Amino acid sequence: MMKRIMCIIASLLVIASCLCPVAMAQPEKDYSHLKGTTINVYNWGEYISDGSEGSLDVNKEFEKRYGITVNYTNFESNENMYNKLISGGANYDVVIPSDYMIAKLAEEGLLAELDYENIPNHKYILDKYKGLYFDPDNKYCVPYTVGMVGLIYNTKMVDGTPDSWSIMWDERYAGKILIFNNPRDTFGIAQFLLGQSINTTDLKDWDAAIEKLKEQNPLVASYVMDEIFGKMENNEAAIAAYYAGDFLTMHDVNPDLAFCYPKEGVNFFVDAMCIPKNAQNKEAAELYINFMCEEEIAVANANYICYATPHALVLESDDYDLKGDPILYPDEANTPPTEIFENLDYETQQYMSMLWNELKIEGNSNIDAYVGLSASVVLVVVYMIYKFIKKKKREAYY
């Protein structure tokens, strides 16, 4: 009997000693007062583990644990997100923009300072992704993913193994090329090819880049963002520039796809979680950000999104499927020259968006429209004159 009690006590002790450090490390704050509230999370498309195909439904998990409703919506580009944020039509509590957009938002005073006391998991973010230029004092953001842009191509449709952005100007692939539907990324490709900096403020450089892009325009099938998944997976396009992580997702579906980092250089980006100034539920937003940095959740997201992670525990986790993936984490020899987007000054931004508009509407022949429309105008006028004469004749007759 005694033995048995001793046994129980001993095992209890073991359990307690196991539990204690965990409990000590994470003093569970009381969040019960947030129960029943809502947070609006605004994220990129396909950028969270959403429960499909047996993955963990991160938002549902958060709702279950804290009783806070997550209102999750998507944007398709940084510009799209910025627009929604400043139009004042909607309030968001958590947004996940990229580097240059964070710099822009911070500069315009649109971001709230984070209370890192509420985000203890921030310590798991690798130091090399902290204090980058867009948030030098670590005030506004917690990195969510990092990555590089690269070239995706279909081995069945493309000859050889491309290693340069110049293949996107190859006429053999006319109508089979996809390009970003956002100005920074698209200009970036032309700028790497021209050997410019992607952050140049010399307007002449931008002129040169737009000339290059106009040259390419007739070959491009369409401007896409996440529509690219369907198009590349179904062999509708041969060549596309997109984010490395998304290539892995596509490759799972269509093994004919291949990837390379062009030698001219690629854009390196950091997407990070921020809280806008006009957030209505900041405390819950911080809780959400902290939750996203929990090991289990971060692993689920990293596995689902396939982007490289800035999270130290994920990189070591055995559950992480993409550990050491050569595309996401290339060794030094295989790392292309990279450049990060910086926030351009206002004048350059304006100039760039003007050129971007121009690119979209020019470079196409509208002869059919001119001919057709003038023919119809002539027809209408002739018909009206005919009617008029007939009427006059009839009046004369009566």
Partner 1 sequence: MTKKTSLSSKLYTALVFIFLYAPIAVLILFSFNSGKSTSVFEGFSLYWYKELFNDAATLDAFKNSMIVAVASSIIATVMGTAAATAIFGYKNKLLKSSIMTVTNIPMMNPEIVTGISMMLLFVFVGSLFGKTGTLGFGTLIIAHTTFELPYVILNVLPKLRQTDPHLSEAAQDLGCTPFQAFFKVVLPAIMPGIISGLMMAFTLSVDDFIISYFVSGTSSQTLPIRIFSMTKRRVTPDMYALSTLIFLAILVLLVVSNLVSAHGDKKLSKKGGAKK
Partner 2 sequence: MNQKSSLMTKLSGSPYIVWAVLFIIVPLCMVAYYAFTDKTGAFTIDNMAQISKYADTFILSIWLGLLATVICLVIAYPLAYIMASKGPEKQSTMTMLIMLPMWMNFLLRTYSWMTILEDNGLLTSALNSVVDFINNTAGLSLDPVHLINTRGAVVVGMVYNFLPYMILPIYTVMLKSDRSLVEAAQDLGGNRLDVFRNVTLPLSVPGIVSGFTMVFVPSVSTFYISQKLGGTGTILIGDIIETQFQTANNFNLGASLSFVLMILIFICLAVMNRFSDDDGGVII
Residues in contact with partner 1 by CB under 8 A are 38, 40, 42, 45-46, 51-52, 60, 71-74, 76, 87-92, 225-227, 229-230, 233-234, 253, 278, 280
171 near partner 2 (CB under 8 A): no
**Smaller CB distance to partner 1: residue 89 or 326?**
89
Beta bridge partners of 26: none
Which spans in 88-137 are helix H? 99-107
- Which of partner 2, partner 1, none sits in contact with 387, Cβ below 5 to 8 A by type? partner 2
131 near partner 2 (CB under 8 A): no
What distances in angstroms separate CA 332 from CA 197, 248, 306, 327, one per listed residue? Answer: 22, 20, 20, 12
Residues 6+ apart with CB under 8 A from 127: none
Residue whose tokens read 């996440």? 226
**Smaller CB distance to partner 2: residue 15 or 371?**
371
- Which of partner 2, partner 1, none sits in contact with 45, Cβ below 5 to 8 A by type? partner 1
**Smaller CB distance to partner 1: residue 172 or 360?**
360
Shortest reach from residue 352's CB to partner 1, in Å: 23
Contact 308, 146 (CB under 8 A): yes
First to last CA, the chain: 128
**Smaller CB distance to partner 1: residue 224 or 308?**
224
**Smaller CB distance to partner 2: residue 139 or 214?**
214
* Dihedral sign from CA coordinates of 128, 131, 135, 136: negative
278 near partner 2 (CB under 8 A): no
Shortest reach from residue 304's CB to partner 2, in Å: 24
Both structure tokens of 388: 């008029």
**Smaller CB distance to partner 2: residue 1 or 361?**
361
- Which of partner 1, partner 2, none sits in contact with 346, Cβ below 5 to 8 A by type? none
What is the secondary structure of 32-85 as a DSSP string? GGGTT-EEEEEEETT-S-BSGGG--BHHHHHHHHH-PEEEEEEESSHHHHHHHH
Shortest reach from residue 332's CB to partner 2, in Å: 37
**Smaller CB distance to partner 2: residue 133 or 370?**
370
Shortest reach from residue 33's CB to partner 1, in Å: 21
Both structure tokens of 80: 């799209």
What distances in angstroms separate CA 247 from CA 26, 54, 182, 305, 390, one per listed residue? Answer: 37, 21, 18, 10, 68
Interacting residue ranges for partner 2, rule: CB under 8 A = 77, 79-80, 82-84, 86-87, 175, 182, 217-218, 220-223, 234-236, 353, 356-358, 360-361, 363-364, 366, 368-370, 372-373, 376, 380, 384, 387, 391
